[in-house]
Amino acid sequence: MAKVIVYPPTSMILSDLVERMGHKALVVPEAVRKLVTANEIDSPPLNVTPEEPKKGLRYAAVDVPSGVRGRMALIGPIIEEAEAAIIVEDPGWLTGCAGCSRTNELVRLLIRTKGVPVLDLSYPTNDAEARVFVQKIRAFLEDLL
């Protein structure tokens, strides 16, 4: 079982396909859960403490907008943990944790420079493309076993 990071990191389809094929999908909601459900909430309501921007500084400089550093505090540790990656470009809709274009550029860059196996795809627009999409993911994940 490999740890596979998916991009967009909030994608339902990608995380489901990864888990369905017996691997562990690394996604943002898990990182969010650790913060918001911690027993000791230091900084309600979301428990973002001064430690989070410090974690973000490992991936982005201090003059980078705080939104990027804050997001990287969640996504950066996930990237470090990843053993493989599936990147789907140009979804055309990204919101919430994945709604910052500069963060997304940095995330893709860090994944590519990490040196793990990466599968690049586009979201399907018809049935034939969907079959190829699923088949490529299946073949990629089977090779990781």
State in angstroms the smallest separation of the CB of 27 from other proteins.
Answer: 5
Q: Is residue 29 near other proteins by the rule CB under 8 A?
A: yes
**Quick one: which of 68, 49, 48 has its CA closest to 58?**
68
SS3 122: strand
SS3 120: strand
Euclidean distance between CA atoms 137 and 93, whole angstroms: 21
State in angstroms the smallest separation of the CB of 64 from other proteins.
Answer: 22
Pick between residue 31 and residue 106 the one whose CB is nearest to other proteins: 31
Find the part of the chain contacting other proteins (CB under 8 A) among 23-31, 54-62, 76-84, 113-121.
23-31
| Residues 47-86 as x/- pattern, contact with other proteins by CB under 8 A | ----------------------------------------
Q: How far is CA 52 from CA 9, 35, 85, 106, 124, in A?
A: 18, 10, 24, 17, 36
How far is the first Cα of the chain from the last one, in angstroms, to the nearest whole number?
Answer: 6
State in angstroms the smallest separation of the CB of 43 from other proteins.
Answer: 13
State in angstroms the smallest separation of the CB of 121 from other proteins.
Answer: 12
Q: Is residue 13 near other proteins by the rule CB under 8 A?
A: yes
